């Protein structure tokens, strides 16, 4: 057979080509022949005399991922980088080639790890403590905690059911449970709660950022409750820096007109709603609310002036009388202040008896006053009789009577009434002036009510 020879060194024969292209040619000048020992034609070429040759050139896989070629004196195997990967490139570090045929895929600053099994590489987030942002190397017994952010929960040793989200959120917490810190530096300086308690909720950048050991606080807003620097406990604070030392306190908003401040308050569910057994509510200058109680039947809520809380009071009222005669006190024009000496009614203890007898106004408002003076003009006393109500603000003429001489030696009563606006702290007293004679006029007193002074708030 042309191009083949046989070997008959034994009873079995082997047939093989005596040149590379099976043409049988032994001419070394023929281009299709193998000229040197150790050569092998691979692939295809345009040189193929007669179409019977094993063609010379490159051998390529069908998907062009691998090419077999020749580069003297070697056969080469070339991988196509655009089809078959040779490096891995991350966010930094450039293109990385394998070492000893292997790439290491690991995580950093996280408790999440890659786990390999068989041909599968798994990144597992179902962890007892899920930390993304630091490796939680301080943990000894802590469990069921989640921390997302650089240094979030970094120093936690023990505690359960904490959630920290944000850079430095609860960074210095060592032992505490059931805390939620959402925001950069929220609960930043917290260490541990009483008996490892916690239950703080801090939402907002630096919310409760200075709190050290307080528990059961709710804080919402950036920088919120920044004045809590110790063990403040059981507070609710929304958009307020709060006050150092608060406990069991609710603070909402910051008074003012600037950014982050409020000067109006609208709340639903109040207007048109009547609640049984409800009490009035007061607002202090600091914005603190307080209940004013219920008082007792017949009392009214009464203002006590600026900077003083109103109180429940019976409507102020008084009645006093003169029990003993005041003899020779006027008649010659002398003004005599009636020295009422017996109190019949004084429900707020505001009347002073004696020579300076007067009523001190307990609460601002309108007052109705009534006056009666029993006078006995002796022979020689005057004939013009005047009764005054003297207050801090004004003098009021209650009555003015002029009698003829025939009245001399006759006892009679001069009376009158008036309503006046009064201010807390004002005083009111009664004065009598008889003119036109000598100082022999008597103002009668009695166990009965003959000379009196009364008043009440209306």
Instruction: Report the pLDDT value the prediction gives residue 363, as an integer from 0 to 100.
Output: 85
- Architecture of the domain defined by 124-253: 2 Solenoid (2.150)
- Answer whether 0.85 is exceeded by the pTM: no
Cα 260 to Cα 252: distance, rounded to the nearest angstrom: 12
3-state secondary structure the chain: CCCEEEECCCCCCEEEECCCCCCCCCCCCCCCCCCCCCCCCCCCCCCCHHHCCCCCCCEECCCCCEEEEEECCEEEEEECCCCCCCCEECCCCCEECCECCECCCCCCCECCEEEEECCEEEEECCCCEEEECCCCCCCCCCECEEEECCCCCCCCCECECCEEECCCCCCCCCECCCCEEECCCCCCCCCECHHHCCCCEEECCCCCCCCCCCCCCEEECCCCCCCCCCCCECCEEECCCCCCCCECCEEECCECCCCCCECCCCCCCCCCCCCCCCCCEEECCCCCEEECCCCCCCEEEECCCCCCCCEEEECCEEEEECCCCEEEEECCCCEEECCCCEEEEECCCCEECCCCCEEECCCCEEEEEEEEEEEECCCCCCCEEEEEEEECCCEEEEEEEECCHHHCCCCEEEEEEEEEEECCCCEEEEEEEEECCCCCEEECCCCCCCCEEEEEEC
For residues 401 and 410, the answer to whether their CB atoms sit within 8 Å is no
Q: Are strands 441-443 and 358-360 parallel, antiparallel or unpaired?
A: unpaired
Cα 283 to Cα 289: distance, rounded to the nearest angstrom: 5
For residues 152 and 133, the answer to whether their CB atoms sit within 8 Å is yes
Per-residue pLDDT of the chain (458 residues; tens, 9 = 90+): 555 455 555 555 555 455 555 555 555 544 455 555 555 555 544 454 555 444 555 677 777 777 877 676 777 777 776 666 778 888 888 988 888 878 888 888 888 888 888 888 888 888 899 999 988 889 999 999 999 999 999 999 999 999 999 999 999 999 999 999 999 999 999 998 765 689 999 999 999 999 999 999 999 999 999 999 999 999 999 999 999 999 999 999 999 999 999 999 999 998 899 889 888 898 888 888 899 898 888 788 887 778 888 888 888 999 999 999 999 999 889 999 999 999 999 998 999 999 999 999 988 899 999 999 998 876 655 578 899 999 999 999 999 887 665 555 677 889 999 999 999 999 999 999 998 888 988 999 999 999 999 999 98
Instruction: Report the pLDDT value the prediction gives residue 84, as an integer from 0 to 100.
Output: 66
Instruction: Report the pLDDT value the prediction gives residue 92, as an integer from 0 to 100.
Output: 86
Cα 243 to Cα 274: distance, rounded to the nearest angstrom: 33
Core vs surface per residue 69-81: b (16+ CB within 10 A) or e: ebeeeeeeeeeee
Instruction: Report the pLDDT value the prediction gives residue 53, as an integer from 0 to 100.
Output: 47
Tell me which of 3.20.20.20, 3.20.20.70, 1.10.10.10, 2.60.120.40 is the CATH number of domain 317-457: 2.60.120.40
Domain coordinates in residue numbering, the chain: 1-81, 124-253, 317-457
């Amino acid at each position: 057979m042309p191009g083949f020879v046989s070997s008959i060194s034994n009873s079995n024969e082997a047939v093989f080509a005596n040149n590379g292209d099976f043409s049988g040619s032994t001419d070394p000048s023929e281009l299709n022949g193998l000229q040197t020992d150790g050569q092998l034609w691979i692939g295809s070429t345009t040189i193929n005399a007669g179409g019977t040759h094993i063609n010379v050139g490159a051998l390529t896989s069908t998907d062009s991922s691998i090419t077999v070629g020749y580069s003297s004196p070697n056969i080469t195997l070339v991988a196509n980088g655009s089809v078959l990967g040779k490096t891995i490139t991350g966010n930094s570090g450039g293109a990385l080639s394998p070492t000893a045929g292997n790439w290491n895929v690991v995580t950093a600053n996280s408790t999440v790890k890659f786990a390999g099994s068989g041909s599968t590489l798994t990144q597992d987030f179902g962890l007892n403590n899920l930390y993304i942002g630091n490796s939680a190397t301080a943990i000894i017994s802590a469990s069921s905690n989640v921390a997302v952010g650089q240094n979030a929960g970094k120093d936690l040793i023990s505690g359960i059911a904490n959630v920290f989200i944000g850079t430095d959120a609860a960074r210095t917490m060592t032992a505490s449970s059931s805390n939620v810190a959402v925001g950069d530096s929220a609960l930043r300086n917290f260490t541990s709660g009483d008996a490892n308690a916690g239950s703080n909720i801090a939402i907002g950048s630096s919310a409760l950022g200075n709190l050290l050991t307080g528990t059961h606080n709710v804080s919402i807003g950036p920088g919120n409750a920044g004045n809590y620097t110790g063990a403040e406990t059981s507070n609710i604070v929304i958009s307020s820096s709060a006050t150092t030392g608060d406990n069991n306190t609710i603070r909402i908003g910051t008074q003012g007109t600037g950014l982050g401040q409020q000067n109006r308050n609208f709340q639903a569910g109040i207007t048109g709603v009547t609640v049984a057994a409800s009490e009035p509510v007061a607002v202090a200058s600091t914005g603190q609310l307080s209940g004013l109680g219920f008082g007792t039947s017949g009392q009214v809520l009464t203002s006590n002036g600026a900077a003083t809380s109103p109180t429940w009071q019976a409507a102020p009222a008084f009645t006093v009388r003169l029990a003993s005669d005041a003899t020779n006190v006027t008649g010659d024009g002398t003004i005599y202040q009636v020295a009422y000496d017996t109190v019949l009614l004084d429900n707020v203890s505001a009347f002073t008896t004696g020579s300076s007898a007067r009523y001190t106004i307990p609460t601002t408002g309108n007052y109705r006053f009534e006056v009666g003076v029993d006078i006995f003009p002796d022979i020689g006393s005057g004939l013009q009789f005047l009764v005054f109500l003297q207050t801090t603000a004004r003098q009021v003429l209650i009555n003015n009577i002029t009698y003829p001489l025939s009245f001399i030696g006759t006892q009679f009563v001069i009376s009158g009434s008036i309503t006046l606006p009064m201010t807390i702290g004002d005083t009111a007293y009664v004065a009598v002036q008889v003119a036109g004679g000598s100082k022999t006029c008597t103002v009668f007193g009695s166990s009965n009510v003959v000379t009196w002074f009364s008043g009440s708030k209306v």
